[in-house]
Chain A
């Protein structure tokens, strides 16, 4: 785990350094684009940010800060320590991720079981149809369509997690209710493809199990169909659900950037995108590092859980 993370940190840093130029070039370019050409100020800013040091020096300084002081460096654009900026957003990211995970499980499990047990029924076809649509439609498009519908037919203020009147206000019950009115949308958007995939996997795995001799034996012994289903084949087919934990977090943080940008969510996605665009390298590097860490930790958790749930894995 540790060597993986170390390699990740180096790769991250190298990749961020690869594009030509640095934050100040981006800043100069943006100034130029708004028609404001400020040559005078750039020199003093270059000094301000310590850009221009060799790259391994920058890397070691950065790593030393993280390891010894928990200091992820400074965001050039926000002029604040990275740690001040990301925890808030990581919190939202975690919150939405966990709720999305629950959403995926809660929809995929019953539907997957249903469509396996009632194979080729009308219900199976409907579930399959929506499953394929869910897999095929890109998230951001789904987000746009849902926003359009919410805007056109419900007159809802779209984008963001709370209505404009609650922005920057302290938390109240009304604000919380307002949050619930908004938060289902990103959850559904982000969760749909995951749920669709899991439905397909669940259906396939369960179909493999349903006609095994042990099922027939159990049924012959007079076990009720429902108990039988849940106790044996479903348990065996459950593995993919647990291994989702490993990939859901990184997918949410990095893969759903476009959705977060489109829906204006206060998660890490837009922050990362912006940081990469303007080459705000410590912010981008820290985010990628943390996401990688989550992936590694998530994989570990799902491995442990799998071993707990499935004795076959334990014995190997």
Chain B
């Protein structure tokens, strides 16, 4: 055993440490799955000790050391369901969040060091680590990603914000074969956290030995490969096809691409009835007994066309471990009824966004009259008091959920009661009072309030039937509540692409959506607390654009500038306590401004696991950016070494 500590080594989050705890390879004889033993005997694979890195990651297990065998059977929708695979096998980054989502731990990197001012990060990789095809994984692969993919504007026209600091894109330097430095030049205290989230996968997802053949720089004869591929017209398209982003179907349509994942696809997503992912014989994690992970031989995804079919499969015991599509409150009763038949049990899933139903009013409205009214905090407070949140919860969600604003969840280290509870009580009189104060005190003959221009003040709400949350029904209720206090709300039901199209071009009055940032993701994706450019959330797009580049968008008022400045401070924080304090300050400022009106915070959801599935993380946190259970599926196993009949 050797334990290394560093002068300034911390992993952010609550505990904030990053000790690289590692078992020396010489002390342990490693063991492998029976199916691999046979291959070794047949000479198809090198012995396990040669396949593992010198210093494999010893993964902590949930309950106990497991046994080999079995197939995790799941179901996947025919299209657009790549996150089904991303979240079970895809997300295995340089660093990872622990199972409780409280601190960042080593993963692909065995340790890292942070410079004094949190501007530069040096990662130590595992010596002798290999891609799923047996080729070595070294710092050169990361440099390949950096120089030939990330920096190449033809391949990466827009850079992912994970790798862009306040002072521009990161600089990556190879120190030696197993050491790389990520240098942002200015403090970027959130980098390690970001790297542990989903989009941090990039640096370790581009095997140079495989992908360089599709790159102009390495293969002068790349045109012949282009000609052979009907789906590509030039090498850039070819490269994108072979090296697609993990969160699009592209990544899962190229089973030839070597990965560092626990299982490796044997066929492509979208063109078969069943996708099969076989264990990666070169996977670099072991358990405490020295058994190479993963325990489970393979994962299969049966392609289905309809969510209801997945439910039926679960009843029939054809699903071993799954939360996606199943874990909806509406399914709970039916799943409970069929527990014995399907031989499964439930586990809790902490999918707890900041709010699941938000009135996103457009603070940067193009119409000056509407803008003036919406920007008046009294108006927003009035509208907030006008809504009967508990009734919405009772009518639409069978009483499951809590009336709340857009705020960190109870239990999160950033939680404050007043964030969540301000202006949430249902009080039409108070609402009227605030709306009068906002200057909407005149009414027309039908009893609706008039705007400052003397015409009826109307807000058009866009609504799409998304997330399975019955937004259109909710909007009808909200329209009624608003009418009770004399506010005219018109509802436009639309489909979600149209909705996104409208709000990303800043042409909406308001719309109904949800927002992340309920737990630790408040630090890295505060999209409802700070104006940030995003595809799904727009409540102040022009300010957000200004925040990125002060020559664009529109200069926000002082109070908003102060929030921008405060969030920049968060990025420059150099220790977990400082980080929390500064983020708290951002939230204090933002909550005071009361940008968006939150209605409901949901209860935890659930997933199912069959009776002999062990080491199931429970409760399992997930979030838009936190692609769990992926780093921990490798330690799930079947008691008895096989599926239940």
Q: Does B47 contact A (CB under 8 A)?
A: no
What CA separation (Å) do A309 and B304 show in the bound complex? 43
Within 8 A of B (CB), among A56-71: 71
Q: Does B237 contact A (CB under 8 A)?
A: yes
Q: Does A246 contact B (CB under 8 A)?
A: no
Known: A157-B318, A168-B273. A39 touches B534 (CB 8 A): yes
Of chain B, the residue at the smallest CB distance from A165 is B318
B248 touches A41 (CB 8 A): yes
Chain B nearest Cβ from A277, distance in angstroms: 8
Within 8 A of B (CB), among A135-184: 147, 151, 155, 157-160, 164, 167-168
What CA separation (Å) do A191 and B204 show in the bound complex? 53
What CA separation (Å) do A31 and B231 show in the bound complex? 23
What CA separation (Å) do A20 and B313 show in the bound complex? 36
Within 8 A of B (CB), among A240-280: 260-262, 264, 266, 270-271, 273-274, 277-279
Known: A35-B625, A168-B274, A264-B305. A77 touches B83 (CB 8 A): no
The interface residues of chain B lying within 8 Å CB-to-CB of A32 are 496, 500, 535-536
Within 8 A of B (CB), among A7-48: 19-21, 25-45, 47-48
The interface residues of chain A lying within 8 Å CB-to-CB of B496 are 29, 32-33
Known: A25-B501, A164-B73. A159 touches B313 (CB 8 A): yes
Known: A35-B516, A39-B158, A264-B309. A26 touches B241 (CB 8 A): no
A79 touches B250 (CB 8 A): yes
A77 touches B159 (CB 8 A): no
Q: Does B198 contact A (CB under 8 A)?
A: yes
What CA separation (Å) do A266 and B419 show in the bound complex? 50
What CA separation (Å) do A26 and B532 show in the bound complex? 21
B304 touches A47 (CB 8 A): no
B500 touches A270 (CB 8 A): no
B276 touches A40 (CB 8 A): no
Q: Does B80 contact A (CB under 8 A)?
A: yes
The interface residues of chain B lying within 8 Å CB-to-CB of A85 are 271
B272 touches A261 (CB 8 A): no
What CA separation (Å) do A28 and B497 show in the bound complex? 8
Within 8 A of A (CB), among B116-168: 155-161
B309 touches A84 (CB 8 A): no
B230 touches A31 (CB 8 A): no
Among A27, A84, A85, A264, find the residue whose CB has the most chain B CB atoms closer than 10 A.
Answer: A264
A80 touches B318 (CB 8 A): no
Q: Does B509 contact A (CB under 8 A)?
A: no
B535 touches A84 (CB 8 A): no
A78 touches B253 (CB 8 A): yes
Q: Does A127 contact B (CB under 8 A)?
A: no
Known: A20-B498, A278-B79. A160 touches B273 (CB 8 A): yes
What CA separation (Å) do A84 and B497 show in the bound complex? 28
Chain B nearest Cβ from A31, distance in angstroms: 6
What CA separation (Å) do A45 and B240 show in the bound complex? 8
B272 touches A84 (CB 8 A): no
B237 touches A35 (CB 8 A): no
Which residue of A80, A159, A277 is within 8 Å of B309 (Cβ)?
A159
* Residues 294-324 of chain B, each 1 if its beta carbon lies under 8 Å from chain A, else 0: 0000001010111011001101101000000
Q: Does B350 contact A (CB under 8 A)?
A: no
Which residue of B199, B231, B248, B533 is within 8 Å of A80 (Cβ)?
B231
The interface residues of chain B lying within 8 Å CB-to-CB of A36 are 83, 198, 247, 624-625
A27 touches B79 (CB 8 A): no
Which residue of A34, A45, A266 is within 8 Å of B273 (Cβ)?
A266
Which residue of B306, B501, B525 is within 8 Å of A21 (Cβ)?
B501
* Residues 489-518 of chain B, each 1 if its beta carbon lies under 8 Å from chain A, else 0: 000000111111100000000000000100
Within 8 A of A (CB), among B577-628: 623-625
B248 touches A27 (CB 8 A): yes
Among A35, A44, A47, find the residue whose CB has the most chain B CB atoms closer than 10 A.
Answer: A35
Chain A nearest Cβ from B502, distance in angstroms: 9
Of chain B, the residue at the smallest CB distance from A33 is B466
What CA separation (Å) do A21 and B464 show in the bound complex? 15
A-B pairs under 8 A by CB, number = 169
Which residue of B353, B535, B623 is within 8 Å of A28 (Cβ)?
B535
Of chain A, the residue at the smallest CB distance from B84 is A34
B306 touches A262 (CB 8 A): yes
Among B241, B248, B249, find the residue whose CB has the most chain A CB atoms closer than 10 A.
Answer: B248
Known: A34-B624, A39-B534, A167-B274. A74 touches B80 (CB 8 A): no
* Residues 92-127 of chain B, each 1 if its beta carbon lies under 8 Å from chain A, else 0: 000000000000000000000000000000000000
B230 touches A74 (CB 8 A): yes
What CA separation (Å) do A30 and B86 show in the bound complex? 14
Q: Does B576 contact A (CB under 8 A)?
A: no
B305 touches A77 (CB 8 A): no
A47 touches B157 (CB 8 A): yes
Q: Does B16 contact A (CB under 8 A)?
A: no
Which residue of B73, B245, B253, B353 is within 8 Å of A35 (Cβ)?
B353
The interface residues of chain A lying within 8 Å CB-to-CB of B253 are 78-80
Of chain A, the residue at the smallest CB distance from B624 is A35
The interface residues of chain B lying within 8 Å CB-to-CB of A270 are 78, 305
A79 touches B241 (CB 8 A): yes
Chain A nearest Cβ from B168, distance in angstroms: 15
Known: A71-B230, A78-B271, A266-B273. A37 touches B318 (CB 8 A): no
B158 touches A40 (CB 8 A): yes
Within 8 A of A (CB), among B224-277: 230-231, 233, 236-237, 240-241, 244-245, 247-250, 253, 267, 270-274, 276
B237 touches A48 (CB 8 A): yes
Which residue of A40, A78, A167 is within 8 Å of B161 (Cβ)?
A40
The interface residues of chain A lying within 8 Å CB-to-CB of B247 are 31, 36, 38, 41
B306 touches A261 (CB 8 A): yes
Known: A21-B501, A39-B534, A264-B305. A34 touches B83 (CB 8 A): yes
* Residues 156-193 of chain B, each 1 if its beta carbon lies under 8 Å from chain A, else 0: 11111100000000000000000000000000000000
Chain A nearest Cβ from B459, distance in angstroms: 22
The interface residues of chain A lying within 8 Å CB-to-CB of B272 are 168
The interface residues of chain A lying within 8 Å CB-to-CB of B237 are 47-48
A264 touches B304 (CB 8 A): yes
A44 touches B312 (CB 8 A): no
Known: A32-B535, A35-B625. A43 touches B318 (CB 8 A): no
What CA separation (Å) do A245 and B23 show in the bound complex? 71
Of chain A, the residue at the smallest CB distance from B236 is A47
Of chain A, the residue at the smallest CB distance from B304 is A264
Which residue of A29, A41, A147, A157 is within 8 Å of B245 (Cβ)?
A41
The interface residues of chain A lying within 8 Å CB-to-CB of B305 are 260-261, 264, 270, 273-274
What CA separation (Å) do A142 and B358 show in the bound complex? 39
The interface residues of chain B lying within 8 Å CB-to-CB of A28 are 497, 500, 535
B501 touches A20 (CB 8 A): yes
The interface residues of chain A lying within 8 Å CB-to-CB of B159 are 40
The interface residues of chain B lying within 8 Å CB-to-CB of A79 are 231, 241, 244, 249-250, 253
Chain A nearest Cβ from B466, distance in angstroms: 6
Chain A nearest Cβ from B645, distance in angstroms: 11
The interface residues of chain A lying within 8 Å CB-to-CB of B315 are 151
Given A43-B158, A151-B312, 18 more pairs with CB closer than 8 A: A20-B501, A21-B498, A25-B500, A27-B248, A29-B499, A30-B80, A34-B83, A37-B536, A38-B535, A40-B160, A41-B247, A42-B158, A47-B157, A155-B316, A159-B313, A160-B304, A167-B302, A264-B304
**7 residue pairs, one from A and one from B, having the closest CB atoms:** A35-B624, A32-B536, A270-B305, A21-B497, A167-B274, A168-B274, A40-B158
Q: Which residues of A come within 8 Å of B, CB atoms? A: 19-21, 25-45, 47-48, 50, 71, 74, 77-81, 84-85, 147, 151, 155, 157-160, 164, 167-168, 260-262, 264, 266, 270-271, 273-274, 277-279
Can you give 25 A-B contacts (C-beta < 8 A)? A19-B495, A28-B535, A29-B499, A29-B500, A30-B80, A33-B467, A35-B353, A35-B624, A35-B625, A36-B624, A37-B536, A39-B533, A40-B159, A41-B245, A43-B158, A45-B240, A80-B253, A80-B270, A158-B309, A158-B316, A168-B273, A260-B305, A262-B309, A277-B79, A278-B80
